[in-house]
Amino acid sequence: MSWSAAGSWFKSHVTLHNLYRLFLGQVVSFVLALMSFTSSLIASLGVDAPITQSSFTYLTLAVVYGSILLYRGQKLRIPWYWYLALGFVDVQGNYLVNKAFQFSSITSVTLLDCWTVVWAIILTYIFIGTRYSLWQLFGAALCVLGLGLVLLSDAGVGGGDGSKPLLGDALVISGTLFFAMSNVGEEFCVKKKDRVEVISMLGLFGMLVSGVELSIFELRSLESVTWSTDIMLAGIGYTLSGFMFYTITPFVLKLSGATMFNLSLLTSDMWAVVVRILFYQQQAG
């Protein structure tokens, strides 16, 4: 093989690899849009139980991937307490973002999700040693500027939707910090250890943390819910989309890292609009 032919093969291989990363990133972004839509739908149906709706996703992950782990019969490669910490921060992120749908619009929540990019850059720089170019930092700064406009809109400058939009925005931004911590921790784990172990332990400890917290904070809310077919279908939709999200996420984190993973999720706002249009058109028909 000549040097020119080898160079062409290498370039095509790199191109295919990059296209594969972009494709996986957009699949995760679309699934995140489904999660946001179903979570918003659950809130609009009068259900205020963000921990409970996430707990079913963790349960599904624990059952499916835990079964694979038990079949292998292997010991944990990472101490359990690290998985407990990972599960804890992930549960808090899900709780805060899902809770935000009670007070703010799906548009504001999905846009402010982008704060995860900022936190991911800071955390990967500190803990993993990732270095970023000036252009990458400039892009992150533009992201923050755009998010500032969302906050101004919700503060009343442009008129925000929701009962308490600023509270909803604060919950989302707080949730993104926990999500960034979860993403960076998961990136470290999947790059060093086994993907199945990471997902199964995240599911197990996420389920345990969710169970403790919902027994303390959400029992009254659950007792007041008038269960209907729509609520159950929305809950199933959230659980399935959450399962897909956590299944695909480790692939993207291993290939691209936490920052690029969260940059891929910026298009979830576009996908959320598409999902809403398709859903409401079908509902109207």
What is residue 231's predicted lDDT score, i.e. its pLDDT?
A: 93
- Single-letter residue type at 59: L
Whether 169 and 112 have beta carbons less than 8 Å apart is answered as yes
What is residue 270's predicted lDDT score, i.e. its pLDDT?
A: 76
What is residue 6's predicted lDDT score, i.e. its pLDDT?
A: 44
Whether 99 and 42 have beta carbons less than 8 Å apart is answered as no
285 residues of the chain, pLDDT tens digit each: 454 544 454 455 557 767 888 888 889 989 988 998 899 899 889 898 999 999 999 999 999 999 999 999 888 888 999 999 999 999 999 999 888 888 877 777 777 777 777 788 888 878 777 777 777 677 667 766 666 665 555 455 444 455 677 788 889 889 989 988 998 888 888 877 788 999 999 999 999 999 999 999 898 888 888 889 999 999 999 999 999 999 999 888 887 777 777 777 777 777 877 887 777 664 534
Whether 168 and 43 have beta carbons less than 8 Å apart is answered as no
What is residue 284's predicted lDDT score, i.e. its pLDDT?
A: 38
Whether 40 and 101 have beta carbons less than 8 Å apart is answered as yes
* Structural Rg of the chain based on CA atoms: 20
Domain boundaries, the chain: 30-42+50-280
| Spatial separation of the C-alpha atoms in residues 191 and 178, rounded to whole Å | 20
Predicted TM-score of the model (pTM): 0.82
What is residue 151's predicted lDDT score, i.e. its pLDDT?
A: 54
> CA torsion 175→136→30→255, rounded to 10°?
-100
What is residue 147's predicted lDDT score, i.e. its pLDDT?
A: 60
